[in-house]
Structure 1
Amino acid sequence: MTMLWLSAVVSLLLSSSLHAAGAGAGASSLSVRRYDAIFSFGDSFADTGNNPVVFSWYSVFDPVTRPPYGSTFFGHPTGRNCDGRLVVDFVAERLGVPLLPPFLAYNGSFRRGANFAVGAATALDSSIFHAGDPPPGASPFPVNTSLGVQLGWFESLKPSLCSTTQGKKKCKDFFGRSLFFVGEFGFNDYEFFFRKKSMEEIRSFVPYIIETISIAIERLIKHGAKSLVVPGMTPSGCTPLILAIFADQAGPDDYDPATGCLKAQNELAILHNSLLQQSLLNLQARHPDASIVYADFFSPIMEMVRSPGKFGFEDDILTICCGGPGTALCGDQGAITCEDPSARLFWDVVHMTEVAYRYIAEDWLRIIESPGNKII
């Protein structure tokens, strides 16, 4: 019995239990209705435009601010690391909430929600990644945009959101009628460690990352959050960037022959997701009045990787749509863009295409829209 197979079974069992726990939480007092607002924390899988502001000092070199980003839906770059919409965009559309404005790049009202996610954000504080001399090519993390920092932004916004709610209870009621996304977190933490540490060392950091996410969830619950969606990690071993990093190190046995993905990196993601789900079960038990739902980022992508034809994708499923030749990034001058992004899973070296995010959003919405996960 392989470690990957065993971990997958554990993850599946935990996922089923957690979904059931979330759906049943407070079932006697919860009823179906729309959310008043959505608040999102995370990294580039959820960032709707904060990244160009945070890293404005090198924006001239930031490809996400240039075409063809945004070309499929918006017709221009929006700061999203995608050709179009992200999962959080599809969720907002379905729930009747405006697309989430990026907190750092928007001057209007945040009464219907705000997005604090930033590309390259980590769960852990960035100071941990500066210990010792960074290796060549390592992510610099020049600005701290960690989960804790994003929570600070939310708390700085809170007075303006609550100024018209006539008291602390009204403010908590507003957040109780809102939907909170906490993640994805983990991909950037581990991606940096991949360049510095052994896999055994990296695995030792998983509990600390999970604890950081759990503390953030409890912090939001104290503010009044009652409906929280917590995405797990993507299968990083299938990501073109990670495949490229290990291209000169990995041997034939390091790859899954059925998918071409790196086994150890995917096993790390499965471990992360399993511990995250167990943590969410514990949080749910401590906060029965809240609905804490795990959103599976891993399984939908793996299904697309294993059965690309089922989703209308081309067979070379791990090939990017935008980027290259050589080291050219999507958005760089001379980079190549595929003719049909809807036929690809990966838009660039890390992120998925809009059509892939649409499929993932449908999976998440089936859980979010279940009656037990709605608010009064």
Structure 2
Amino acid sequence: METVIRFLFCVINLCVSFKNPNSCYDQSKLEAKHKALFVFGDSLFDPGNNQYLNGSTGEGISATYWPYGQTFFNHPTGRLSDGRIVPDFIAQFADLPILPPYMEPGAHRLADGVNFASAGAGVLDGTHPGTIQLRMQLEYFKTLKKSLRQQLHDAEAEKVLRRAVYLFSIGGNDYFSFYTSNPEASESYQQAYVEMVIGNLTLVLKEFYSLGARKIAFQNVGPLGCVPVMEAMNPELGSSCVEIPLALARLHNEYLSVTLNNLESQLPGFKYAIFDYYNSLGDRVNNPSKYGFKEGKVACCGSGTYRESGCGGREGKEPYELCRRPSEYVWFDGAHTTEMTNHQLAELLWSGKPNVTGPYNVKQLFGH
């Protein structure tokens, strides 16, 4: 009888928040398994933060119009895809709800995590002013930490932050901006710029560590020269990718790997994952049929040779084309992938082998 009463009490008072009455037999086990996900980055990870920004820059890089969102949500959400993006799938794999945009008004269940990513954001403050740059995302995270401590008290809040996984996609916009301003940049100038980006990124990561972050996951910078909008800017290359953006991405990724390895040796308890987004996406662009796609170069939605621009029905836009089945395309618009591509990439980030995602994958980070 005592067991029954205890169970009913637990259901009424505790289980609503977890939506799983069975877990009440051992609440401590559930709490040990439950880990938050905090997401930072750019348009590849933005769930709709930019639609809440004031100013033309942030609002201009926001997918708040059809056909964005058509596949899964059936309406635009601010995600630059036809459906879910990589962090949405990672949250689902981790038995978490799809995380809300940090900027979205209303109460958030902070113990699950939040998504701070902003389309157009870079590591450097000068990349696309008006968006939520990485350092500002860090400042918002500091604010969140204060709120979490008020909700859970200091000790529990610290546990949540140390158990959580911190997922990043950042850097691509810094190199897009650099290349468009410096298309003939020398190798030494390219290297100096990459070192500046990595230096700033390192400082931010150390600050995240000081705030409690211990498990860091990175999607590295993708094959920037193979993005439809970049290929359209260089028609003389035909269907070949543009080399300088590719070289910048490769150099950044080499430095990122060294940096995270160094941080692991310097900071007690620091663990990390790097997903080889560069090669994983690049192979899908160049060999789409290998992964179940019919088209790897031309986007599903837009106008131009590669449908690289103008996706969506915003006022004043030129007419655009829209493919019948986004799942057959690697790219949804001129710089962003379809839900099908995102799902495949998220699976590699979640449980990829060490040569794809290592030294840990995200599933392993959640398990530690």
* TM > 0.5: yes
Deviations 1:203-259 (A, max 9, x none): 321011112222221111111112110221010010011112233xxx55xx7xxx7
CA contact (8 A) 1:176 1:375 kept: no
Query: Using the alignment, how far apart are the partners of 2:60 and 2:72 within structure 1?
Result: 23
TM (norm. structure 1) is 0.79
Query: Using the alignment, how far apart are the partners of 2:240 and 2:301 within structure 1?
Result: 20
- 1:89-168 counterparts in 2 under 5 A? 89-109=88-108, 110-126=110-126, 141-167=128-154
Considering Cα pairs closer than 8 Å and 6+ residues apart, tell me whether 1 or 2 has the greater RCO.
Answer: 1
Alignment length, in residue pairs?
A: 320
Deviations 1:292-320 (A, max 9, x none): 11122111111212321111212x42101
CA distance 1:311–1:277, shift in 2 (3 Å):
same
Query: Using the alignment, how far apart are the partners of 2:198 and 2:60 within structure 1?
Result: 33
Aligned to 2:167: 181
Aligned to 1:307: 287
Query: Using the alignment, how far apart are the partners of 2:130 and 2:278 within structure 1?
Result: 28
Question: Which of 158, 181, 193 lines up with 2:178 in the alignment?
Answer: 193
CA contact (8 A) 1:190 1:202 kept: no
Query: Using the alignment, how far apart are the partners of 1:63 and 1:338 within structure 2?
Result: 21
Deviations 1:85-144 (A, max 9, x none): 111111000101111110111312233111110000010112xx5xxxxxxxxxxx3415
CA distance 1:144–1:86, shift in 2 (3 Å):
closer
Question: Which of 297, 300, 304 lines up with 2:277 in the alignment?
Answer: 297
Aligned to 2:299: 320
Equivalent AA in structure 2 for residue 230 of structure 1: F
Query: Using the alignment, how far apart are the partners of 1:205 and 1:282 within structure 2?
Result: 20
Deviates more, 1:35-44 or 1:113-122: 35-44
Bigger radius of gyration, 1 or 2?
2
TM (norm. structure 2) is 0.81
CA distance 1:34–1:199, shift in 2 (3 Å):
farther
CA distance 1:309–1:55, shift in 2 (3 Å):
farther
Question: Which of 319, 341, 359 lines up with 1:356 in the alignment?
Answer: 341
- 1:1-376 counterparts in 2 under 5 A? 34-54=33-53, 57=56, 64-109=63-108, 110-126=110-126, 141-167=128-154, 169-182=155-168, 184-197=169-182, 198-200=184-186, 201-247=189-235, 251-252=236-237, 260-314=240-294, 316-325=295-304, 329-332=310-313, 334-366=319-351, 367-369=360-362, 371=364, 373-374=365-366
How big is the shift at 1:158?
1.3
Query: Using the alignment, how far apart are the partners of 1:302 and 1:83 within structure 2?
Result: 20
SS at match of 2:166: strand
Identity %, equivalent residues: 30
How big is the shift at 1:170?
3.0
* Unmatched runs of 5 consecutive residues or more in structure 2: 1-31, 352-359
Query: Using the alignment, how far apart are the partners of 1:147 and 1:243 within structure 2?
Result: 27
CA contact (8 A) 1:47 1:115 kept: yes
Equivalent AA in structure 2 for residue 46 of structure 1: F
How big is the shift at 1:63?
6.5
Aligned to 2:18: none
Query: Using the alignment, how far apart are the partners of 2:177 and 2:217 within structure 1?
Result: 25
Query: Using the alignment, how far apart are the partners of 1:68 and 1:118 within structure 2?
Result: 20
CA distance 1:187–1:205, shift in 2 (3 Å):
same
